[in-house]
Amino acid sequence: MSGGGDVAARRATVHGRVQGVFFRHSALERARSLGVAGWVRNTERGTVELHAEGAPDAVDALVRWAHRGPAGADVQRVDVDEVEPEGLGGFEVR
């Protein structure tokens, strides 16, 4: 994360055809390339939940990516909330 800068944290719920299309693995790769910490997981409701924290510009870039997702995904809607950072040091698939 950026040294001494602000830390942003966002929780996004991604709706649409987003499970079974490598969404979580693609999010992991994108987050790591942006230097964003957090996690991504499938939910029982058929959505994907994404928690991202780090430099505000990097977090925003990951959230923008989630509105498209990987090839094969059909993102219908993304609900985004500002949340408190969890102090995570990396990004993982849960």
Q: Is 17 a catalytic residue?
A: no
* Tokens of residue 7, six digits: 């830390």
**Length of the chain measured in residues:** 94
Query: Which of these is catalytic: 11, 17, 41, 42?
Result: 42
Q: Is 32 a catalytic residue?
A: no
Biggest distance spanned by C-alpha atoms of the chain:
38
Query: Which of these is catalytic: 24, 32, 64, 68?
Result: 24
CB 46 within 8 Å of CB 22 = no
What are the catalytic residues? 24, 42
